[in-house]
Amino acid sequence: MTVSVSGVVAAAKGAPVQVVEVIVPDPGPGEALVRVQACGVCHTDLHYKMGGIGNDYPYLLGHEAAGIVEAVGDNVTEVQPGDFVILNWRAVCGQCRACSRGRPWYCFATHNATQKMTLADGTPLSPALGIGAFAEKTLVAAGQCTKVNPAIDPATAGLLGCGVMAGIGAAINTGGVSRGDSVAVIGCGGVGDGAILGARLAGAKTIIAVDIDDRKLAWAREFGATHVVNSRAVDVVESIRLLTDGFGADVVIEAIGRPETYQQAFFARDLAGVVVLVGVPTPEMRLDLPLLEVFGRGGALKSSWYGDCLPSRDFPMLVDLHLDGRLPLEKFVSEKIALGDVEAAFAKMEHGEVLRSVVLL
Ligand code: APR
Ligand code: ZN
Ligand code: ZN
């Protein structure tokens, strides 16, 4: 059996995305069929559309999603029909070298239900990040579903599936921010603001938000930044030093993915501090640093993949903190839109007008 639903598809490189009919098969062994309730619009969806990720068109976009499990295939123990779940794009396999060494957040197995959904004419679709959730229903690996408290607004919950989790995790899981720390976050989009929230949750005393856009800095304050720096107007490294008694920050989180802002992060931290790169660079980018400074400043230069998150541990915990009023995740939802509005949402995202547009289904 199959079902026919509406989904947002990028048919060719650069072409505007369109809502078309998508055919979704029944879940096979280890798979789950999810009725999507909400899915955020992320830069990665735009990268797929523009050809920045691959050439496997047509793509079924959307990956920051929450919904209800509708059916499961054989051998599924993680979830059952009726469960409210957040989808993740890196299901932990439990068997690869990273998993078997007890470091499942580095799991490198791709464990997704790929390329089973099709267009009406049978053309296979490539689901974005193995999810494809700008669709009324999607088929995923059961391990991509994490059951959480259904009391949360699905539009808010879905955002934990990608950028917001990456930011929170960059601060807590990768950066190891601790109480009393000083933290600087360079780039205050959804990922950077997630890092600010994470730093606040971990008890950071000073949280310095850096951006080139005053609107983003105003939002950063709402998420908990204690100080803001517009790096168009002033020297970032000097400003962060001044705000940290001349020392530099204990943890500096780069949430853009550019060499010049990485260099700022490198020089803006205290001796033996930590730099976390959570922004994703492009292949041609190169980094130039004095090796003597890399040695002399000590500390750690780390990257954060998906916030080094463990969905089964982190999603339910963060949802519960939100429901307790301790994590204002709803502030990331700038607008709620329909499936047909994704193309317009890409434009708003590019102009910095929104943190996240979320499609409701
Ligand atoms: N200095 C400071 N801030 C900058 C600079 C710069 N040179 N260039 C851009 N910014 C700011 C933008 O104004 C924006 O507020 O960085 C922020 C980036 O935010 P978004 O574009 O909304 O991106 P986001 O979704 O937060 O993702 C950030 O993480 O996951 C990756 O691919 C993603 O590389 C991207 C990064
Ligand atoms: Zn694994
Ligand atoms: Zn994303």
How high is the mean pLDDT of the chain? 95
pLDDT at 112: 59
Which of 256, 264, 282, 305 maximizes ligand 1 atoms within 8 Å of its Cβ, making it the mutation to test the pocket?
A: 256
Determine the Cα–Cα distance for residues 359 and 121; give it in Å rounded to an integer: 26
Question: Which of 90, 129, 185, 191, when mutated, tests ligand 1's pocket best, judged by the most ligand atoms within 8 Å of its CB?
Answer: 191
Q: Which ligand is nearest to the CA of 190?
A: 1
Q: Which residues of 148-182 are buried (b: 16+ CB within 10 A; e: fewer)?
A: beeebbbbbbbbbbbbbbbbbbbbbbbbebeeebb
Q: Which residue has the tokens 């059996």?
A: 1
Output the CA 140–ligand 3 centroid distance in Å. 16
pLDDT attached to residue 252: 98
Name the residue with the closest Cα to ligand 1, atom 7.
Answer: 261
Q: Does residue 246 surpass a pLDDT of 70? A: yes
pLDDT at 173 over 90: yes
pLDDT on residue 110: 63
Nearest CA owner, ligand 1 atom 11: 187
Q: Which ligand is nearest to the CA of 102?
A: 2
CA gap 254, 195 in Å, rounded: 10
Q: Does position 126 have pLDDT exceeding 60, yes or no?
A: yes
For 149-180, the DSSP string reads -TTS-HHHHHGGGTHHHHHHHIIIIIS---TT
Span 118-129, average pLDDT: 95
Digit-coded pLDDT (tens) for 162-172: 999 999 999 99
Contacting residues for 165 by C-beta, under 8 A, at least 6 apart: 159, 194, 306, 307, 309, 314, 315, 318
CA of 259 to the centre of ligand 2 (A): 31
| Cβ pair 162, 314 in contact under 8 A | no
* CA nearest ligand 1 atom 25, residue: 190
Q: Judge whether residue 113 has pLDDT over 80.
A: no
Ligand nearest, relative to CA of residue 346 = 1
pLDDT in the model for residue 323: 98
pLDDT at 111 over 80: no
**55-97: per-residue pLDDT in tens?**
999 999 999 999 999 999 999 998 999 999 999 988 888 888 9
Reported as a single tens digit per residue, the pLDDT across 80-90 is: 999 999 999 88
Rounded distance from Cα 255 to ligand 1 centre (Å): 6
**pLDDT recorded at residue 95:** 86
State pTM to two decimals.
0.95
Contact 143, 87 (CB under 8 A): no
